[in-house]
């Protein structure tokens, strides 16, 4: 029942925590690259990003509406809408002040949303570990009880076999001595030993 303890690498632990800032930083960098390649003050490119961001936000609103709404799809759509808006601003603006402001705001919102899912995942993980630990303890207790019971049975069997061997050896040694009387031994309190199969059959009749 003992399971190997697996230690996660520190990169595997830190990667989910760094994902939001990496995502927003990537969008900001791509937006500034787009800005340097002709998107600055381009009304057409800005209008395209506005339409795409509005479409993604609308899709998220529809995905989250009603009882049949899917929170995963809705969250993905809203995240896409925010990324498109940030990329559009970073590509259209001629300075870094507004893009950096939106980047900081988007990063803070992303961490706020991610923290909620991290807390939920942590609670589920702790509950699963607690349940698994309880099951291991129950199985270990059952195994210990069964091991004690089997050991007791083996000990009783060994003691019975040893007693039978000692009794047989004592009777054999006593029978080899002169003056051995089976009837007197029976009267002393030991069970009567049948002398032969023929005598036993006659007594039964």
Euclidean distance between CA atoms 56 and 174, whole angstroms: 103
Query: Which residue from 54, 64, 111, 124 is spatially nearest to 84, judged by alpha carbons?
Result: 54
* pLDDT tens by residue, 117-175: 888 888 888 888 888 888 888 888 888 888 888 988 998 888 888 888 887 887 777 67
Using the CB atoms, write b or e for 152-171: b if 16+ within 10 Å. eeeeeeeeeeeeeeeeeeee
Euclidean distance between CA atoms 62 and 54, whole angstroms: 12
Query: Which residue from 101, 57, 62, 113 is spatially nearest to 82, judged by alpha carbons?
Result: 57
Please state the pTM of the whole predicted model: 0.55
> What per-residue confidence (pLDDT) applies to 3?
47
> What per-residue confidence (pLDDT) applies to 201?
44
> What per-residue confidence (pLDDT) applies to 139?
86
> What per-residue confidence (pLDDT) applies to 39?
83
> What per-residue confidence (pLDDT) applies to 55?
92
Token code pair at residue 65: 């509406």
Which residue is listed with tokens 């002393």? 188
Whether the pLDDT of residue 26 is over 60: the answer is yes
* pLDDT tens by residue, 52-98: 999 988 988 888 876 666 777 888 888 888 888 888 998 888 888 88
Euclidean distance between CA atoms 34 and 32, whole angstroms: 5
> What per-residue confidence (pLDDT) applies to 1?
44
């Amino acid at each position: 029942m003992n399971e190997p303890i697996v230690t996660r690498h520190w990169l595997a632990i830190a990667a989910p925590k760094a994902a939001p800032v990496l995502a927003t930083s990537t969008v900001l960098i791509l937006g500034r690259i787009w800005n340097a390649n002709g998107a600055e003050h381009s009304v057409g490119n800005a209008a395209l990003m506005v339409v795409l961001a509005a479409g993604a936000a609308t899709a998220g609103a529809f995905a989250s509406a009603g009882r049949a709404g899917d929170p995963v799809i809705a969250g993905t759509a809203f995240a896409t809408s925010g990324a498109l808006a940030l990329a559009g601003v970073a590509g259209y603006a001629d300075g870094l002040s507004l893009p950096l402001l939106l980047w900081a705001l988007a990063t803070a919102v992303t961490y706020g949303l991610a923290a909620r899912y991290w807390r939920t995942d942590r609670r589920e993980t702790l509950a699963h570990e607690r349940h698994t630990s309880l099951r291991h303890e129950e199985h270990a207790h059952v195994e210990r009880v069964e091991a004690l019971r089997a050991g007791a049975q083996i000990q009783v069997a060994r003691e019975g076999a040893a007693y039978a061997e000692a009794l047989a050896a004592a009777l054999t040694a006593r029978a080899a001595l002169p003056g051995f009387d089976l009837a007197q031994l029976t009267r002393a309190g030991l069970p009567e030993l049948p002398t032969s199969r023929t005598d036993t059959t006659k007594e039964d009749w």
